[in-house]
Structure 1
Amino acid sequence: MARKGGFSNQRYPLAKVAAMCGGLVVRPSERIVEDVQIDSRQCSRNSLFFALDGTREHGLSYVGDAAARGCSAVVVSRSDKERAVAMTQPYKCALILVSSPLSALQSLAREYRKMLPQVTSVGITGSCGKSTTKEALAAIASTLGNTIKTPGNFNSEIGLPLSILQLENDTQFGIFELGIDHVGEMDRMVEMLKPDIGLLTNIGISHLEKFTSRSTILEEKGKLFHPGMKMGFVSDDCPYTSALEERSQLRLKQYGFSGVEALDRGLDGWDLSFEGEHFHVSCVGKHLVRDVMGAIQVGLALGADKKDIAEGLEGFRPMQ
């Protein structure tokens, strides 16, 4: 979730934020926006609250609570205008009307990303191994400069825009995890992030019930490698590399266990040696070492050297 002081620690006029969302401001206000929230309990003065449609509850039910906590504005569907006006009437809270609060959140993230061209962004997807790769790469990138990463598993259509909104004016690297479970989701994620570099860990059968076939999973996850991407990576055991290259017209770089010496310490993890530099990672299982190797190869592409890699990964522990 976008942290307090987000938006690069800047203060944005409400009218500008509304335009970025593609929304219409009702009850105009001179207030500013400092952070974005989807949980009314996290709202405070100058927050922007998005009333998203949840699986169990609708965010509209919490518009009044968000307004009472000092929000600058709430973003609601046009169809909910009358209810939202009534709920916010007692407060100095503007309304931004949109066709879809989720699409508006994604639009805001997309436009915000465009304002930070200095950020080199990396998008990581795959049926498994995304989080480990993301965490390992962020550890390496952090040795090179200010790095923002997907917090936890905020890798969905909701989590990605919130993650993007954590970028700051001095951010150099953004490491983002892209998790999808239905057709069309990757299109929207890529449109928001436009990653400079992409990494696909593998193609498995996660969410097969929604995708219906492995070929559909391949097609959808392969959309990560969008036109204009500078560099793409896949594991050297991926049987679909040729198909991915044909679709994307991008020559994909492969990664694996070559170039690293690995000593298995069982439950204590692995002792690794890369180009003469030694470090220990607390990863149990060789599959996690492959994820770390993917992070190393992307780290090299970002400008890391062997010492940066050893420094970043020493003591690395995957997400639990």
Structure 2
Amino acid sequence: MIAFTAAEIAEITSGRLDADPGITPLSVVTDSREATQGSLYVAKPGEHADGHDFIDAAFAAGAVLALVERPVSGHPSIVVADAVLAMGALAAEAVRRIRAARAEAGSRLTVVGITGSAGKTTTKDLLAGILATQGNTVAPQGSYNGEVGVPLTVFRAGTDTRYLVIEMGATGIGHIRYLAEMVKPDIGVVLAVGTAHAGEFGGVENIALAKGEMVEGLTAGGTAIINLDDERVAAMRSRTGAKVLGFSSEGRQDAQVQALNADTNAEGCPEFDLQLPDGAAPRHVSSRLIGAHHTGNLLAAAAAAWAAGVPGDHIAESLGNQAAASRWRMERTERPDGVTIINDAYNANPESMRAALRTLADLGRGRRTWAVLGAMLELGGDSIREHTAVGTQVVRLNISRLLVIGREARALYVSAVNEGSWGDECLFAETLEEAYDVLAAELQPGDLVLFKSSNSVGLRHLGDRIALPPAPTPADERSTLL
């Protein structure tokens, strides 16, 4: 972390200093449970709790300074109008200081921003894996991609950081612009414009407006990495003065980065020949990720790495060596009894749901397949229509069993029944516990089970629970004793 004194923090955040001006925090946390010796604790109000209620706990754990929105007694603090905006201001200054320090030393900091309706975290993980082979790289933990997560990622960087990878999410117009102004990316990646958060944005066209803020916010001389297979993303070329590097897995001739001869292997992992704009022969990439839809993410990471100056051979080699780095993204578990679990329930939107179901169908040839599905949230007025479409797709893909969980996803169940799936082929459970009982009783060796829902539905935890080896029955225990 870049060192800031309490006096500097107060000046940067336009805050009132109620502390020794020389206090210099060693880290920044927003959760009192993560505070360690020397932490700056940001007491931000939350949806379910107010960080000010945990100031004592933070200092007991080692915090030396608090960033607060109202005066507190007994602890060194800086009072600001908005703690989250103060974090952003401090992060922006941290990036500026890192750039200046590296420039003075004859080096540079390269900042890469990644956005899109799906695939951000996977692409971030892939790119960070490539860049880490070339220099000190800082990237978000998990899916830290908002107005709190981005500053927390920045605060982990220092003057020894060569690459800073930033994942940027949004639930409204202006959010990505704010984040881009904070970190000033040199390379900006736009993956896709889908229907995730369509209800909050007010429609897909507004999502496209918001995602395009990434390419508008690039530094002078920056590079925009554009998915030419998505028409709304391809149209963003007109919104930037930066150099554009397009990628395509569908044979777009104007794409400088392409996946040639793309396919999936017997394990459902993408394979292709990677064409880069270096004039060299395509390099073969055999990925360890699951699902053909990851081809676009692999290409995006390759294009961003190329723009960052990584040699083509290193890019291809790294892409072939990397498995999923973040949890609950097509995460595959083989149970000892022969049941295979694919847990892709970190998040869901219509595009990612369709991709996961196609992968389930492809991998499940010759096996009994289960789609365990929960709601796709934040779709607004499109919710019933989109859930209905997914139910129809499950039946048309010949998925063996469908288990739908929760009232918000009931349209998916009704659609599957209407399409011709009934009886024990299509089941509905009100709760996760009911769903667990069904699966515990009915899964058989050889079954392939996909879990997919929006994050807050909680199917990822059900998937983890089902992935555990089944408990031995009393008969099994007796045979072991004998």
Shorter-chain TM-score: what band? 0.7 to 0.9
Match of 2:191 among 201, 215, 218: 201
Aligned ranges for residues 224-263 of structure 1 at < 5 Å? Answer: 224-225=214-215, 226=217, 228-229=219-220, 230-241=222-233, 243-250=235-242, 252-257=244-249, 258-263=258-263
The higher-RCO structure (CA 8 Å, 6+ apart) is: 1
Contact preservation (8 Å) 1:199, 1:232: yes
Aligned equivalent of 1:53: 45
Residue 116 in 1 paired to residue 93 in 2? no
**2: CA distance, partners of 1:23 / 1:238:** 44
Structure 2 gap segments, 5+ residues each: 100-107, 250-257, 275-280, 330-482
Aligned residue pairs, count: 302
CA displacement 1:270-308 (0-9 Å, x = unmatched): 344434544431222221011101111111111112221
Percent sequence identity is: 26
Q: Given the alignment of the two structures, is residue 107 of structure 1 paired with residue 89 of structure 2, yes or no? A: yes
User: 2:281 matched to 1:291?
Assistant: no
Larger Rg: 2
> Is the CA contact 2:64–2:76 (under 8 Å) kept in the aligned structure 1?
yes
Equivalent in 6, 23, 28 of residue 20 of structure 2:
28
Alignment partners' CA distance in 2, 1:204 and 1:259: 22
Q: SS at the partner of 1:176?
A: strand
1:173 maps to 163
Residues 127-146 of structure 1: per-residue CA shift (max 9 Å, x gap): 00111111111111112211
Following superposition, the deviation at residue 259 of structure 1 comes to 4.9
Moved more, 122-131 or 37-46: 37-46
Residue 338 of structure 2 is matched in structure 1 by: none
Offset at 1:241? Answer: 4.6
State the SS of the aligned residue for 2:246: strand
Q: How does 1:58-77 map to 2 (within 5 A)?
A: 58-77=50-69
The residue number in structure 2 matching 1:305 is: 311
Q: Is 1:315 matched up with 2:315?
A: no
Q: Is the 8 A contact 2:259 2:272 kept in 1?
A: no
Query: The residue matched to 1:254 in structure 2 has which SS?
Result: strand
Give the one of 158, 161, 164 matched to 2:148: 158
CA RMSD of aligned residues (A): 1.9
- After the TM superposition, which segments of 4 or more aligned residues of structure 1 sit over 6 Å from their partners? none
Kindly provide the CA deviation profile for residues 59-101 of structure 1, in whole angstroms up to 9, marking residues without a partner as x.
Answer: 0101121122332211111xx21xx22xxx2xxx311010001
- In the alignment, the residues of structure 1 paired with residue 240 and residue 315 of structure 2 have an alpha-carbon distance, to the nearest angstrom, of 29
Residues 1:268 and 1:100: Cα distance change in structure 2 (over 3 Å): same
Q: Aligned equivalents of 1:227 and 1:308: distance in 2?
A: 26
CA distance in 2, matches of 1:306, 1:166: 28
Query: Is the contact made by 1:137 and 1:296 (CA closer than 8 Å) also made in structure 2?
Result: yes
SS at match of 2:321: coil
* 1:95 has 2:77 as partner: yes
Measured in 2, the distance between the counterparts of 1:292 and 1:133 equals 7
1:136 equivalenced with 2:126 (yes/no): yes
> Which amino acid in the other structure matches residue 248 of structure 2?
G
Identify the residue that residue 266 of structure 2 maps to in structure 1.
266
